[in-house]
Structure 1
Amino acid sequence: MEAQVTATAKATFFHLRRIKQLVPYLSRPDLATVIHATVTSRLDYCNSLYAGLPLKLPQKLQRVQNAAARLLTGSLPCEHIHPLIFQLHWLPVKYRVRFKVLVLTFKALHGLEPSYLRDRLSRNAPQRASRSINSNTLVVPGPKEVRLASTRARAFSTLAPAWWNALPHETRALQDLISFRRACKTELFRLAFGLEST
Protein backbone atom coordinates (compact mmCIF):
# COMPACT_ATOMS: atom_id res chain seq x y z
CA MET A 1 0.00 0.00 0.00
CA GLU A 2 3.00 2.32 0.26
CA ALA A 3 2.92 3.19 -3.44
CA GLN A 4 -0.83 3.89 -3.26
CA VAL A 5 -0.51 6.15 -0.22
CA THR A 6 2.45 8.00 -1.74
CA ALA A 7 0.58 8.52 -5.02
CA THR A 8 -2.50 9.82 -3.17
CA ALA A 9 -0.40 12.23 -1.10
CA LYS A 10 1.40 13.47 -4.20
CA ALA A 11 -1.84 14.03 -6.15
CA THR A 12 -3.57 15.83 -3.27
CA PHE A 13 -0.59 18.11 -2.61
CA PHE A 14 -0.65 18.98 -6.33
CA HIS A 15 -4.31 20.00 -6.02
CA LEU A 16 -3.60 22.02 -2.87
CA ARG A 17 -0.92 24.00 -4.72
CA ARG A 18 -3.42 24.75 -7.48
CA ILE A 19 -6.12 25.71 -4.96
CA LYS A 20 -3.70 28.07 -3.21
CA GLN A 21 -3.68 30.23 -6.33
CA LEU A 22 -7.47 30.64 -6.00
CA VAL A 23 -7.45 31.77 -2.36
CA PRO A 24 -7.63 35.54 -3.14
CA TYR A 25 -10.71 35.00 -5.31
CA LEU A 26 -12.78 32.63 -3.15
CA SER A 27 -14.81 33.13 0.00
CA ARG A 28 -14.04 30.74 2.84
CA PRO A 29 -17.18 28.58 2.23
CA ASP A 30 -16.30 28.33 -1.48
CA LEU A 31 -12.70 27.48 -0.61
CA ALA A 32 -13.94 24.76 1.77
CA THR A 33 -16.11 23.32 -1.03
CA VAL A 34 -13.16 23.19 -3.44
CA ILE A 35 -10.90 21.57 -0.83
CA HIS A 36 -13.53 18.93 0.00
CA ALA A 37 -14.17 18.20 -3.67
CA THR A 38 -10.54 17.86 -4.74
CA VAL A 39 -8.57 16.92 -1.61
CA THR A 40 -10.75 15.43 1.14
CA SER A 41 -12.62 13.22 -1.33
CA ARG A 42 -9.30 11.72 -2.46
CA LEU A 43 -8.18 11.13 1.12
CA ASP A 44 -11.46 9.33 1.83
CA TYR A 45 -11.62 7.27 -1.38
CA CYS A 46 -11.34 3.57 -0.41
CA ASN A 47 -9.57 4.68 2.78
CA SER A 48 -10.80 1.59 4.65
CA LEU A 49 -7.91 -0.18 2.90
CA TYR A 50 -5.52 1.90 4.99
CA ALA A 51 -6.73 0.29 8.23
CA GLY A 52 -3.93 -1.30 10.21
CA LEU A 53 -1.11 0.11 8.08
CA PRO A 54 2.19 1.10 9.72
CA LEU A 55 1.86 4.56 11.25
CA LYS A 56 4.25 6.27 8.80
CA LEU A 57 1.84 5.70 5.87
CA PRO A 58 -1.30 7.35 7.33
CA GLN A 59 0.98 10.17 8.54
CA LYS A 60 1.72 11.01 4.90
CA LEU A 61 -2.00 11.55 4.36
CA GLN A 62 -2.30 13.42 7.66
CA ARG A 63 0.26 15.91 6.37
CA VAL A 64 -2.04 16.55 3.40
CA GLN A 65 -5.01 17.15 5.71
CA ASN A 66 -2.87 19.45 7.86
CA ALA A 67 -1.86 21.48 4.80
CA ALA A 68 -5.52 21.70 3.71
CA ALA A 69 -6.53 22.91 7.18
CA ARG A 70 -3.80 25.58 7.15
CA LEU A 71 -4.86 26.72 3.70
CA LEU A 72 -8.54 26.93 4.64
CA THR A 73 -7.93 28.77 7.93
CA GLY A 74 -5.13 30.96 6.59
CA SER A 75 -2.87 29.89 9.46
CA LEU A 76 0.92 29.94 9.52
CA PRO A 77 3.07 26.78 9.36
CA CYS A 78 4.33 27.49 12.89
CA GLU A 79 0.82 27.27 14.38
CA HIS A 80 -0.08 24.01 16.11
CA ILE A 81 -2.31 21.91 13.84
CA HIS A 82 -4.43 20.12 16.47
CA PRO A 83 -6.61 23.16 17.34
CA LEU A 84 -7.11 23.93 13.63
CA ILE A 85 -8.39 20.42 12.84
CA PHE A 86 -10.61 20.65 15.94
CA GLN A 87 -11.93 24.08 14.89
CA LEU A 88 -12.84 22.74 11.43
CA HIS A 89 -14.49 19.71 13.09
CA TRP A 90 -12.49 17.35 10.85
CA LEU A 91 -11.65 13.84 11.96
CA PRO A 92 -7.90 13.17 11.68
CA VAL A 93 -6.99 10.69 8.93
CA LYS A 94 -6.62 7.60 11.13
CA TYR A 95 -10.05 8.25 12.62
CA ARG A 96 -11.54 8.81 9.15
CA VAL A 97 -10.28 5.31 8.28
CA ARG A 98 -11.83 3.90 11.45
CA PHE A 99 -15.10 5.72 10.69
CA LYS A 100 -15.24 4.16 7.22
CA VAL A 101 -14.63 0.65 8.60
CA LEU A 102 -17.35 1.14 11.24
CA VAL A 103 -19.85 2.37 8.64
CA LEU A 104 -19.04 -0.67 6.47
CA THR A 105 -19.57 -2.86 9.55
CA PHE A 106 -22.95 -1.27 10.28
CA LYS A 107 -24.03 -1.74 6.67
CA ALA A 108 -22.85 -5.35 6.64
CA LEU A 109 -24.76 -6.13 9.84
CA HIS A 110 -27.92 -4.55 8.41
CA GLY A 111 -27.77 -6.20 4.99
CA LEU A 112 -26.70 -3.04 3.15
CA GLU A 113 -23.33 -4.39 2.01
CA PRO A 114 -22.35 -7.49 0.00
CA SER A 115 -22.66 -10.81 1.80
CA TYR A 116 -18.90 -11.46 1.67
CA LEU A 117 -18.42 -8.67 4.25
CA ARG A 118 -21.31 -9.92 6.39
CA ASP A 119 -19.80 -13.41 6.31
CA ARG A 120 -16.65 -12.04 7.98
CA LEU A 121 -18.61 -10.94 11.04
CA SER A 122 -20.10 -13.06 13.85
CA ARG A 123 -22.31 -11.77 16.63
CA ASN A 124 -21.41 -12.71 20.20
CA ALA A 125 -23.72 -15.38 21.56
CA PRO A 126 -22.92 -15.96 25.27
CA GLN A 127 -23.27 -19.55 26.53
CA ARG A 128 -25.34 -18.49 29.53
CA ALA A 129 -27.95 -15.79 29.86
CA SER A 130 -26.51 -12.47 30.94
CA ARG A 131 -26.88 -8.77 30.33
CA SER A 132 -24.25 -9.00 27.59
CA ILE A 133 -26.64 -11.08 25.48
CA ASN A 134 -28.16 -7.82 24.23
CA SER A 135 -24.89 -5.89 24.00
CA ASN A 136 -24.75 -6.26 20.20
CA THR A 137 -21.04 -7.09 20.19
CA LEU A 138 -19.08 -9.08 17.63
CA VAL A 139 -16.62 -11.94 17.96
CA VAL A 140 -12.99 -10.90 17.51
CA PRO A 141 -11.33 -13.91 15.85
CA GLY A 142 -8.20 -15.36 17.40
CA PRO A 143 -4.95 -16.40 15.69
CA LYS A 144 -6.41 -19.77 14.65
CA GLU A 145 -9.22 -18.14 12.66
CA VAL A 146 -6.93 -15.64 10.86
CA ARG A 147 -3.86 -17.71 10.10
CA LEU A 148 -1.53 -15.23 8.38
CA ALA A 149 0.09 -13.16 11.14
CA SER A 150 1.19 -10.53 8.61
CA THR A 151 -2.39 -9.75 7.55
CA ARG A 152 -4.26 -10.47 10.79
CA ALA A 153 -3.73 -6.96 12.14
CA ARG A 154 -5.24 -5.47 8.96
CA ALA A 155 -8.01 -7.99 8.32
CA PHE A 156 -11.57 -6.63 8.23
CA SER A 157 -12.69 -9.69 10.23
CA THR A 158 -10.30 -8.65 13.05
CA LEU A 159 -10.36 -4.85 13.02
CA ALA A 160 -14.08 -4.35 12.40
CA PRO A 161 -15.27 -6.38 15.44
CA ALA A 162 -12.65 -4.81 17.73
CA TRP A 163 -13.58 -1.27 16.70
CA TRP A 164 -17.31 -2.09 16.73
CA ASN A 165 -17.14 -3.48 20.27
CA ALA A 166 -15.33 -0.31 21.43
CA LEU A 167 -18.32 1.85 20.46
CA PRO A 168 -20.81 2.79 23.20
CA HIS A 169 -23.75 0.38 23.51
CA GLU A 170 -26.19 3.14 22.48
CA THR A 171 -24.33 3.66 19.19
CA ARG A 172 -24.16 -0.07 18.40
CA ALA A 173 -27.91 -0.33 19.06
CA LEU A 174 -28.87 2.28 16.44
CA GLN A 175 -30.80 0.94 13.45
CA ASP A 176 -30.73 3.98 11.16
CA LEU A 177 -27.61 4.60 9.04
CA ILE A 178 -27.76 8.41 9.26
CA SER A 179 -28.15 8.30 13.05
CA PHE A 180 -25.32 5.77 13.31
CA ARG A 181 -22.97 7.88 11.17
CA ARG A 182 -23.68 10.95 13.31
CA ALA A 183 -23.20 9.13 16.62
CA CYS A 184 -20.11 7.31 15.36
CA LYS A 185 -18.47 10.52 14.17
CA THR A 186 -19.25 12.21 17.48
CA GLU A 187 -17.66 9.32 19.40
CA LEU A 188 -14.54 9.25 17.19
CA PHE A 189 -14.21 13.04 17.40
CA ARG A 190 -14.33 12.70 21.19
CA LEU A 191 -11.60 10.04 21.09
CA ALA A 192 -9.44 11.96 18.61
CA PHE A 193 -9.42 15.13 20.70
CA GLY A 194 -9.63 13.63 24.19
CA LEU A 195 -13.01 15.15 24.98
CA GLU A 196 -15.09 14.03 27.94
CA SER A 197 -18.14 11.95 27.08
CA THR A 198 -21.46 13.69 27.73
Structure 2
Amino acid sequence: MQTHISFIIKTCFFHLRRIASIRRYLTHDACVKLVVSLIFSRLDYCNSLLASLPASSIHGLQRVQNAAARLTLRKTKRDHITPLLCYLHWLPVNTRISYKLSTLVYKCLNDSAPENLQSSLDLYTQPSDRPLRSAADPLHLHIPRSKLASAGQRAFPSAGPSAWNSLPLELHQSPSLDAFKSRLKTQFFP
Protein backbone atom coordinates (compact mmCIF):
# COMPACT_ATOMS: atom_id res chain seq x y z
CA MET A 1 0.00 0.00 0.00
CA GLN A 2 2.95 2.33 0.52
CA THR A 3 3.52 2.66 -3.23
CA HIS A 4 -0.13 3.58 -3.75
CA ILE A 5 -0.08 6.11 -0.91
CA SER A 6 3.16 7.68 -2.17
CA PHE A 7 1.66 8.09 -5.64
CA ILE A 8 -1.47 9.76 -4.21
CA ILE A 9 0.66 12.14 -2.13
CA LYS A 10 2.86 13.05 -5.10
CA THR A 11 -0.14 13.68 -7.38
CA CYS A 12 -2.01 15.73 -4.78
CA PHE A 13 0.96 17.97 -4.02
CA PHE A 14 1.43 18.53 -7.77
CA HIS A 15 -2.17 19.74 -8.03
CA LEU A 16 -1.85 21.84 -4.88
CA ARG A 17 1.17 23.64 -6.37
CA ARG A 18 -0.83 24.32 -9.53
CA ILE A 19 -3.76 25.69 -7.53
CA ALA A 20 -1.38 27.80 -5.40
CA SER A 21 -0.03 29.47 -8.53
CA ILE A 22 -3.51 30.80 -9.39
CA ARG A 23 -4.88 31.15 -5.84
CA ARG A 24 -4.82 34.96 -5.84
CA TYR A 25 -7.26 34.99 -8.79
CA LEU A 26 -9.74 32.60 -7.15
CA THR A 27 -12.58 33.32 -4.76
CA HIS A 28 -12.84 31.25 -1.60
CA ASP A 29 -15.72 29.16 -3.00
CA ALA A 30 -13.92 28.51 -6.29
CA CYS A 31 -10.79 27.42 -4.44
CA VAL A 32 -12.79 25.04 -2.23
CA LYS A 33 -14.42 23.50 -5.30
CA LEU A 34 -11.05 23.04 -7.01
CA VAL A 35 -9.49 21.45 -3.93
CA VAL A 36 -12.44 19.13 -3.39
CA SER A 37 -12.54 18.04 -7.02
CA LEU A 38 -8.78 17.62 -7.54
CA ILE A 39 -7.48 16.64 -4.09
CA PHE A 40 -10.31 15.02 -2.15
CA SER A 41 -11.37 12.90 -5.09
CA ARG A 42 -7.92 11.29 -4.88
CA LEU A 43 -7.83 11.10 -1.08
CA ASP A 44 -11.28 9.47 -0.94
CA TYR A 45 -10.83 7.07 -3.85
CA CYS A 46 -10.74 3.54 -2.36
CA ASN A 47 -9.76 4.97 1.03
CA SER A 48 -11.63 2.19 2.83
CA LEU A 49 -8.76 -0.07 1.73
CA LEU A 50 -6.51 1.99 3.99
CA ALA A 51 -8.39 0.95 7.15
CA SER A 52 -6.22 -0.39 9.97
CA LEU A 53 -2.99 0.87 8.43
CA PRO A 54 -0.43 2.30 10.84
CA ALA A 55 -0.60 6.03 11.54
CA SER A 56 2.78 6.50 9.86
CA SER A 57 1.25 5.43 6.54
CA ILE A 58 -1.76 7.72 6.88
CA HIS A 59 0.37 10.67 8.01
CA GLY A 60 1.39 11.62 4.45
CA LEU A 61 -2.25 11.78 3.35
CA GLN A 62 -3.04 13.95 6.37
CA ARG A 63 -0.21 16.30 5.35
CA VAL A 64 -1.87 16.69 1.95
CA GLN A 65 -5.20 17.55 3.56
CA ASN A 66 -3.55 20.03 5.92
CA ALA A 67 -1.77 21.73 3.01
CA ALA A 68 -5.06 21.92 1.11
CA ALA A 69 -6.81 23.56 4.08
CA ARG A 70 -4.00 26.09 4.53
CA LEU A 71 -4.03 26.92 0.81
CA THR A 72 -7.80 27.31 0.74
CA LEU A 73 -7.90 29.62 3.76
CA ARG A 74 -4.60 31.40 2.93
CA LYS A 75 -2.92 30.40 6.18
CA THR A 76 0.73 29.71 6.97
CA LYS A 77 2.41 26.54 8.25
CA ARG A 78 2.48 28.01 11.73
CA ASP A 79 -1.32 28.17 12.02
CA HIS A 80 -2.93 25.32 13.93
CA ILE A 81 -4.76 22.95 11.58
CA THR A 82 -7.67 21.67 13.69
CA PRO A 83 -9.66 24.95 13.66
CA LEU A 84 -9.10 25.22 9.92
CA LEU A 85 -10.47 21.73 9.28
CA CYS A 86 -13.45 22.44 11.53
CA TYR A 87 -14.15 25.72 9.73
CA LEU A 88 -14.12 23.93 6.36
CA HIS A 89 -16.10 20.95 7.77
CA TRP A 90 -13.42 18.52 6.58
CA LEU A 91 -12.91 15.34 8.58
CA PRO A 92 -9.30 14.20 9.12
CA VAL A 93 -8.13 11.39 6.83
CA ASN A 94 -8.34 8.53 9.36
CA THR A 95 -11.85 9.67 10.32
CA ARG A 96 -12.83 9.89 6.64
CA ILE A 97 -11.85 6.24 6.32
CA SER A 98 -14.06 5.27 9.29
CA TYR A 99 -16.87 7.43 7.88
CA LYS A 100 -16.75 5.62 4.55
CA LEU A 101 -16.61 2.17 6.14
CA SER A 102 -19.53 2.95 8.46
CA THR A 103 -21.59 4.29 5.56
CA LEU A 104 -20.90 1.14 3.53
CA VAL A 105 -21.99 -1.04 6.45
CA TYR A 106 -25.19 1.01 6.89
CA LYS A 107 -25.96 0.52 3.19
CA CYS A 108 -25.30 -3.22 3.53
CA LEU A 109 -27.63 -3.56 6.50
CA ASN A 110 -30.37 -1.65 4.67
CA ASP A 111 -30.10 -3.59 1.38
CA SER A 112 -28.76 -0.71 -0.71
CA ALA A 113 -25.24 -2.09 -1.27
CA PRO A 114 -23.97 -4.74 -3.70
CA GLU A 115 -24.86 -8.31 -2.78
CA ASN A 116 -21.23 -9.42 -2.37
CA LEU A 117 -20.68 -6.79 0.36
CA GLN A 118 -23.98 -7.64 2.07
CA SER A 119 -23.13 -11.33 2.20
CA SER A 120 -19.78 -10.61 3.89
CA LEU A 121 -21.46 -9.23 7.05
CA ASP A 122 -23.05 -11.34 9.79
CA LEU A 123 -25.09 -10.19 12.76
CA TYR A 124 -23.64 -11.23 16.09
CA THR A 125 -25.60 -13.97 17.84
CA GLN A 126 -25.62 -13.93 21.63
CA PRO A 127 -24.52 -17.02 23.53
CA SER A 128 -27.52 -18.47 25.32
CA ASP A 129 -25.69 -19.27 28.57
CA ARG A 130 -24.65 -15.70 29.47
CA PRO A 131 -26.13 -12.28 28.62
CA LEU A 132 -23.78 -9.61 27.30
CA ARG A 133 -23.99 -5.80 27.24
CA SER A 134 -24.12 -5.86 23.46
CA ALA A 135 -27.52 -7.61 23.68
CA ALA A 136 -29.17 -4.17 23.68
CA ASP A 137 -27.97 -3.61 20.11
CA PRO A 138 -29.73 -5.91 17.61
CA LEU A 139 -27.41 -4.63 14.83
CA HIS A 140 -24.15 -5.61 16.50
CA LEU A 141 -21.96 -7.29 13.87
CA HIS A 142 -19.72 -10.32 14.14
CA ILE A 143 -16.02 -9.61 13.49
CA PRO A 144 -14.47 -12.70 11.90
CA ARG A 145 -11.04 -13.89 12.92
CA SER A 146 -8.43 -13.37 10.26
CA LYS A 147 -5.46 -15.58 9.56
CA LEU A 148 -3.33 -12.71 8.30
CA ALA A 149 -2.72 -10.10 10.98
CA SER A 150 -2.03 -7.27 8.55
CA ALA A 151 -4.14 -7.79 5.42
CA GLY A 152 -6.95 -9.74 7.08
CA GLN A 153 -7.89 -6.92 9.45
CA ARG A 154 -8.05 -4.43 6.57
CA ALA A 155 -10.52 -6.49 4.55
CA PHE A 156 -14.12 -5.25 4.56
CA PRO A 157 -15.55 -8.26 6.46
CA SER A 158 -13.30 -7.31 9.42
CA ALA A 159 -12.79 -3.55 9.07
CA GLY A 160 -16.44 -2.76 8.36
CA PRO A 161 -17.88 -4.47 11.47
CA SER A 162 -15.08 -3.00 13.63
CA ALA A 163 -15.95 0.53 12.52
CA TRP A 164 -19.69 -0.16 12.86
CA ASN A 165 -19.50 -1.70 16.34
CA SER A 166 -17.53 1.30 17.62
CA LEU A 167 -20.48 3.61 16.85
CA PRO A 168 -23.13 4.45 19.46
CA LEU A 169 -26.49 2.63 19.40
CA GLU A 170 -28.50 5.69 18.32
CA LEU A 171 -26.49 5.89 15.09
CA HIS A 172 -27.31 2.27 14.27
CA GLN A 173 -31.01 3.08 14.46
CA SER A 174 -30.99 6.03 12.03
CA PRO A 175 -34.11 6.03 9.85
CA SER A 176 -32.42 6.99 6.56
CA LEU A 177 -29.01 7.20 4.95
CA ASP A 178 -29.03 11.00 4.98
CA ALA A 179 -29.89 11.06 8.69
CA PHE A 180 -27.16 8.49 9.36
CA LYS A 181 -24.53 10.50 7.47
CA SER A 182 -25.50 13.70 9.25
CA ARG A 183 -25.39 12.10 12.70
CA LEU A 184 -22.14 10.30 11.88
CA LYS A 185 -20.39 13.47 10.77
CA THR A 186 -21.60 15.21 13.95
CA GLN A 187 -20.24 12.27 15.97
CA PHE A 188 -16.84 12.43 14.29
CA PHE A 189 -16.25 16.17 14.53
CA PRO A 190 -13.99 17.18 17.43
CA distance in 2, matches of 1:134, 1:91: 27
CA distance in 2, matches of 1:94, 1:130: 30
Deviations 1:43-67 (A, max 9, x none): 1111111111122221111000000
2:9 is aligned to 9
| SS of aligned partner of 1:22 | helix
- Are 1:48 and 1:98, in contact at CA under 8 Å, matched by a contact in 2? yes
- Are 1:125 and 1:133, in contact at CA under 8 Å, matched by a contact in 2? no
1:81 is aligned to 81
Letter in 2 for 1:84: L
* Structure 1 position 130, deviation (Å): 8.2
CA distance in 2, matches of 1:23, 1:85: 19
1:139 is aligned to 142
Letter in 1 for 2:182: R
- Are 2:137 and 2:169, in contact at CA under 8 Å, matched by a contact in 1? no
RMSD of Structure 2 on Structure 1 (CA): 1.7
* Structure 1 position 127, deviation (Å): 4.0
Q: What does residue range 96-175 of structure 1 map to in structure 2 within 5 Å?
A: 96-128=96-128, 132=135, 134-142=137-145, 146-175=146-175
Q: Identity of aligned pairs, percent?
A: 39
* Structure 1 position 135, deviation (Å): 3.5
Letter in 2 for 1:98: S
Unaligned 5+ runs, structure 2: none
2:29 is aligned to 29
CA distance in 2, matches of 1:106, 1:75: 37
CA distance in 1, matches of 2:179, 2:99: 14
- Are 1:99 and 1:184, in contact at CA under 8 Å, matched by a contact in 2? yes
Q: What's the TM-score once normalised by structure 1's chain length?
A: 0.88
CA distance in 1, matches of 2:71, 2:47: 23
Letter in 1 for 2:74: G
- Are 2:91 and 2:188, in contact at CA under 8 Å, matched by a contact in 1? yes
Unaligned 5+ runs, structure 1: 194-198
* Structure 1 position 3, deviation (Å): 0.8
